[in-house]
Structure 1
């Protein structure tokens, strides 16, 4: 039998606190825990709100503005620009619906006041940032303007100074959340100048619509901006290093979108890699690795992002980083250092504002002792804001095949939907994946205008393990685009596993 450990009992004391300690009751700490959030993007400000609700004292450190890159230079501005471009995309259906006045693509540039468009884009981003700032202040969150870095696992040093008034502030924290985001990746042979060679954060400084925009990179960012500027009236050349645009997305969806791009007059250069980009007398010249040269008025470098983790004391504090520079986290956002959490693009989990926000909320619930459910990436819905949009949730078809899962699938073209016919929509589809025996919905893809809204019923099905019969037996409005989701589920009713991946 193992020896019983001895217990050191304090000397008797008449005070209440000493009596509590004598009885083995830990003395209560009158101070609320201090949470310091480095970065005010979705992961940071959502974490701050949760931490305040759970009774913590919260300080948010942000150098540029509340909302971070997602609000100021990325998600909000880009989707606002895309919303403007959608006006022209929708107008393309005008003649088919009997409405005159649709402007041909070649004449649209004269209709677009890009300076006014960008002014609206930046004004909306600024308004959203100020709303977030006001919300945090109302909730009692302290906001420190400056650039934060770790000085050990429980201290954050903030550079609060300016060129003329240098200064620092040291914050002592019980819990630290890193939400430092990412910045656009650039090429050493294509250095952005903010005028002709651009990252996506610099597009909103343009006073005139590019006459010919070369987009280097055919991932989500490249595809979204290529589609938007083509709709606004620019000639667009999309340089893709892979066989098709959106190489990481559903193959049917990516092939459909590339076909739409080409039909609208976009030049898509597949299996072409940019080696360099330089200014010319009146534009830019992009040289490809095979020696070809593509000339245009502007070039957008959209080749991914780099986590903003360098030079802020992470490795010195013991925070483990991946080879890519991303902070390594588990499913409750813990880093390798106790008390230090991370959320958002700096973690490399999924580069989505919704995921950053969820990571931040989960981190604070875990740190402050609230009930917490670990992040489940398989339940994350994502959307690409092209025209048509591409929305996905759950397991993709490529993942199902790679893992050898059995599944059944069906694809319903959007053109068959009565509501789509009324609206002149032809390009798109609804695709579902389900288990052949249990009928549980495993995932889905929607390609359609406003696919970001249509994916929600499939997201509910995946999150709550609903069957195709559960979806099929639910009422939908007639006529509606969402009717295709229920119809796809009805097609899968009773299907066997024949022909499915095994």
Structure 2
């Protein structure tokens, strides 16, 4: 594979720029075709900005939920302890100014790292041309913003074009009152009454964040519960927290349309009910950016949903063409996109590579509390796909949780009967995204619950609950 030296990457998100760095390190001539800025939607309109917004919301929630219990007294013009009025407020304009500033700064840092590695960045929209030359190379046509075109020749192509928000025909975002998640950061004032349509990860995260920031939130879910794709026990905890904090959660309620009426928004449900708010966030999924990219004409097979079919090393059905990220329909996570891109380049350039193993992928829902998962799930156990022992330990028993006023959450670990090898875990807690890592290491290293239980933890610490859950599993006669 030494002859493979020219690599063209269409898309500059995590799958694209991580692949570019690997390919450059391996000595390839790398060109990234990017339209909006390196980092892609993950950095500019999705992961980085949303988690920056949520960081502010976390501070608000942590203070609101525990300041009285922790003995913090409101003074200097703030409401007196015991009054119903809120202690803190938020300037959404300043919050969003910081959000967009950090996103641009992160994109700039990525661009600097990529160009410093010797990667060429070309602005424009990339299209894969059909057919291969006799030497196996492929052509990519780049159309710039001014309409001019140029052709790039590549020995290998990586498609990492990402996705965009799905829309309902009768609920088109206008960027002012009816919004998708890329438009929220242009708001200068906090929505008084926010209707969130969609109870998946994106809907739940923004519903929880805006409730914490001070909006009155109604969450419209077409399913039986919030986060239908997550661990049911974790989803129940989160929905209970949402309701306790004042959110109106409408289960089994499908939105049919949303329209503006002056400075209000009316959302009509399939059963005829009408909900009124000042703003509406449409969070009803995403569509892959695969249309118009010349993929099918070039021999790249797509699924019925428009995603690119790939194998474990990110190959598509077209020779010399790989794909990574949200356009593939594999876990819509920046970490997975980056891994897919790196694996693609290792494989393309002849390096040894291990195929993508989704059972070692850790994921997190950035609500409050957070929900982190890795490995096999409760659904796998309930549906008979895997035989496992399960122990769940409520977080309220943890001494550090008591000290911090944390009552909601748990640690759940799955292990193989007999051997006790850890095969899955769920953590529902503040900073669950940090706490899941020991479970991820255990799964990746085929560690037993005995090994996890033997490892020292700090006392007191939330991570102590992970060791205690492992001890309980080990103590069940494994």
User: Which bin holds the TM-score, normalised by the shorter protein?
Assistant: over 0.9
**What is the match of residue 133 of structure 1?**
111
Aligned: 1:232 with 2:213:
yes
Q: How does 1:154-303 map to 2 (within 5 A)?
A: 154-162=138-146, 166-303=147-284
The CA distance in 2 between the partners of 1:494 and 1:62, in whole Å, is 54
CA distance in 2, matches of 1:388, 1:429: 10
SS of equivalent residue, structure 2 residue 426: strand
Aligned to 1:401: 382
1:38 partnered with 2:10: yes
Measure how far apart 1:317 and its partner are. 0.5
State the 4+ residue runs in structure 1 displaced beyond 4 angstroms.
Answer: 102-110
Separation in 1, partners of 2:206, 2:361 = 23
Q: State the alpha-carbon separation in 2 of the partners of residues 205 and 106 from structure 1.
A: 30
- Separation of aligned partners in 1, 2:94 and 2:324: 35
| Residue 70 of structure 2, aligned match among 80, 87, 97 | 97
1:215 and 1:81 mapped to 2: Cα distance?
A: 16
Q: Distance in 2 between matches of 1:358 and 1:396?
A: 22
Could you say if the C-alpha distance between residues 105 and 373 of structure 1 is closer, same or farther in structure 2, counting changes exceeding 3 Å?
farther
1:425 corresponds to which of 396, 403, 406: 406
1:146 aligns with 2:118: no
Shift of 1:161: 3.6
Distance across 2 between alignment mates of 1:157 and 1:404: 45
- Work out whether residues 408 and 496 of structure 1, in 8 Å CA contact, stay in contact via their aligned partners in 2: no
1:403 and 1:147 mapped to 2: Cα distance?
46
Counterpart selection for 1:112 from 79, 83, 90:
90
Give me the TM-score of the superposition, normalised by structure 2.
Answer: 0.95
Report the equivalent of 2:134. none
| Contact 1:109–1:233 under 8 Å retained in 2 | no
- Kindly indicate whether the alpha-carbon contact (under 8 Å) linking 1:431 and 1:445 is maintained by their aligned counterparts in 2: yes
Check if 1:49 corresponds to 2:11: no
Alpha-carbon shift at residue 408 of structure 1 (Å): 1.0
Is 1:80–2:64 an aligned residue pair? no
The CA distance in 1 between the partners of 2:234 and 2:142, in whole Å, is 45
Give per-residue Cα distances to partners, 1:331-369, cap 9 Å, x unaligned: 100000110000000000100000000000000000000
Counterpart Cα distance in 1 of 2:348 and 2:427: 37
1:188-239 Cα deviation digits (max 9, x unpaired): 0101100011000000111110000000000000000000000000000000
Partner of 1:411: 392
What's the secondary structure of 1:334's corresponding residue?
coil
Instruction: Report the Cα distance in structure 1 between the residues aligned to 2:83 and 2:406, rounded to whole angstroms.
Output: 19
Other-structure match for 1:69: 41
Taking a change above 3 Å as real, the CA distance of residues 109 and 472 of structure 1, as seen in their structure-2 partners, is closer
After superposition, the Cα gap between the structure-2 partners of 1:100 and 1:110, relative to the gap in structure 1 and judged at 3 Å, is: closer
For 1:292-371, list aligned pairs within 5 A.
292-371=273-352
Q: Distance in 1 between matches of 2:314 and 2:337?
A: 10
Give the distance between the partners of 1:62 and 1:293, measured in 2 at CA: 42
2:423 equivalent to 1:442: yes
What is the CA RMSD across the aligned residues, in angstroms? 1.6
The equivalences for 1:444-459 within 5 A come to 444-459=425-440
Q: Report the alpha carbon displacement of residue 111 of structure 1 after superposing the two structures with TM.
A: 2.4
2: CA distance, partners of 1:361 / 1:107? 51
Task: Show the 5 A alignment for 1:8-19.
Answer: none
Distance 1:109-1:266 versus aligned 2 partners, 3 A rule? farther
Q: How many pairs align?
A: 466
Q: Deviations over 1:435-486 (max 9, x none)?
A: 1101001100000000000000000011111000010000111111100000
Residues 423/277 of structure 1: CA separation in 2 closer, same or farther (3 Å cut): same
Partners of 1:399 and 1:436 lie apart in 2 by 15
Q: For 2:145 and 2:366, how far apart are their aligned partners in 1?
A: 39
**Whose Rg is larger?**
1
> How far did residue 282 of structure 1 move?
1.7
Structure 2: any 5+ residue segments left out of the alignment?
132-137
